[in-house]
Copies of this chain bind each other. A is one copy, B any other.
Amino acid sequence: MTSQTNLFNASRLQGIITYPITPFSANGEVDIKTLSVLIDQLINSGSHAIAPLGSTGESAYLNDEEWTEVAQASIKAVNKRLPVIVGVSDLTTQNAVKRAKIAEKAGADAVMVLPVSYWKLTPDEIFNHYAKIADAVSLPIMVYNNPATSGIDMSPELIVQLFKSIDNVTMVKESTGDIQRMHKIRLLANNELPFYNGSNPLALEAFAAGATGWCTAASNIISQWPLKLYQAIQNNDIDLARELFYKQLPLLEFILKGGLPTTIKAGLKLKGLPVGEPRKPLQALDEAGNKKLQTLLQTLETFS
């Protein structure tokens, strides 16, 4: 809650925050060159910020060297054209701290932290995990709650406590898909803690409820649709936002249900940018899925 970090949030990190996938070459190695091409595409098509090494970026499936390579290459590729928020999550506090430092040194504008679990964590253990990372860097930290992938569910009470107690915790990405969490965070924090939506099928209602931004992988393949929805909200036009939302909803549900790395990578290939397959045990989208995805993409092109 320092003035500088608040300034950052207020002025820069809002709207459509895009999660690039991490491309792999045919032999399964990180493909930095294609990552640069993708990031250029995302910037040129209008995203408001770039968030490498999130869930979509298969961060959890990369080893330390690969993680560092992708962090540095992403920041370099963006080249200060947009804010970059880097996912630095790891199972151990020590390694999450290390990643946060690497991100800071490489020029990230903020870091995002998801408390990953094998053994469940107590609120106190989660708090200290964030406190340690916050101590190690001076960047703003986005708290990230996504129990479906991390196995840990942070209550609104805990999230707001992190915000109130740790200076550089300045924003939260809520991905439970439960709109009541956003309500609660807003009420508990007196509307001082910006919240971002990470659940694609909740995009319309999260904006209705006052979300500052929508963190999404959908922009990788249908960049204009999330932007138009956000613009309608900015114009206080819920009728148009609703119309735009329902058109893109079938695709949003499809990519959520199929797993973001799996479906987004398939979509990018369909749109002409091969980025390889997700890392095993994750498998490439099967033929039926590809056909369904192509139909969904074509429908949206017709509409736009």
Contacts and interface: CB of A to CB of B under 8 A. Distances in A.
A280 B132 contact: yes
A278 B94 CA distance: 13
Interface string A75-108: 0000000000000000111100000000000000
A208 B205 CA distance: 6
Contacts of A278: 119
A101 to B, nearest CB: 16
A126 interface: yes
Q: Which of A128, A204, A250 has the most CB of B within 10 A?
A: A204
A250 to B, nearest CB: 7
Integer count of this chain's copies in the complex: 4
Given A92-B61, A119-B259, A149-B118, A124 B242 contact: no
Contacts of A120: 148, 259
Given A210-B242, A259-B120, A281-B126, A179 B151 contact: no
Nearest to A204: B208
A261 B117 CA distance: 13
B55 A118 contact: yes
B179 A121 contact: no
Q: Which of A60, A191, A209, A280 has the most CB of B within 10 A?
A: A280
